[in-house]
Amino acid sequence: MVWNKSTYLASPVIEVTLAGLAVRSIVASFDVSSSLIEKADTCILKLADYGRLFTGSVKRRDQLSIKWGYSGEPLVEIFRGVIRSIGVDDPVIIRGIDYNTILNSKRVQMTYEDETASGIIRAVMAGTGLKLDIEDCELEIERLPFFNLTVRECIDAVSEIVRRQTDQQYFDYIRDGIFHWGKKDNSGEAQHSFRMGVNIIRQEVSSDGLSFLETMVTTMVTTVRHSEIIEVENELQFVIKVEYIWEGGGRTRIWYEHVR
């Protein structure tokens, strides 16, 4: 998003598609959460669908996507996944999860010997239908048996072995159909710039108890991704977590740590 005078005059807009149906008109609110340290992007969608005219035939695993932006600007996708659960009350509460569901549905029965950590990750991800962006990790694992474990459990096991033996933390996430696995990279250039009184509504120290999440910023509608570099008051920051919140308008909440 390029911030200019016209940005402030435009209205925030959304595009919500549920099981192939456009449901923007009945969206009361949503909250999308995307975090580097969590296993999946999640969404809580509240629909004012009294009588279930839209959601009566919607079921678990149906597709759910959300885009947002400003009127007159191209909308950006902030969530794509599937329905995890559907509430029975009005308004209808629908919970979604991104395509990490693929990792929980496929199981592995294999023993790997004298293989690198990144090689094992590539092997267990084969056949998921996702493109791969795997950072090389030359740690060689002598023997690692997987007995009917989910792909999710296999990835977590490899990452934990790497952490224990190298003291390096590897993270994974899925974005735009690509599975990423690697260390935090804070060497890039800022993707967005934020200033108090310009595009920051509130800035405060995070109180969620996670020591490395130093500060939270609440902005107007914008699309920031975790693992990106942003600039806040002329200082570079690494984004750890983002929430996209809609309720009669949009807000983006960003948790970040200082780039050292």
**pLDDT tens digits, one per residue of 96-105:** 999 888 899 9
Please state the rounded mean pLDDT for residues 241-260: 90
pTM score of the predicted model:
0.88
Query: Domain segments of the chain: what residues?
Result: 5-99, 103-176, 192-258
Q: How confident is the model at residue 199 (pLDDT cuts 50, 70, 90)?
A: confident
Residue 142 has pLDDT above 90, yes or no: yes
**pLDDT tens digits, one per residue of 50-81:** 888 888 889 999 999 999 999 888 999 999 99
pLDDT above 90 covers what percent of the chain?
66
CATH of domain 103-176: 3.55.50
**pLDDT tens digits, one per residue of 14-45:** 999 999 999 999 999 999 999 999 989 999 99
Residue type at 145 in one-letter notation: P
**pLDDT tens digits, one per residue of 117-141:** 999 999 999 989 999 999 999 999 9
Please choose, from the candidates 253, 236, 235, the residue with its C-alpha nearest in 3D space to the C-alpha of residue 244.
Answer: 253
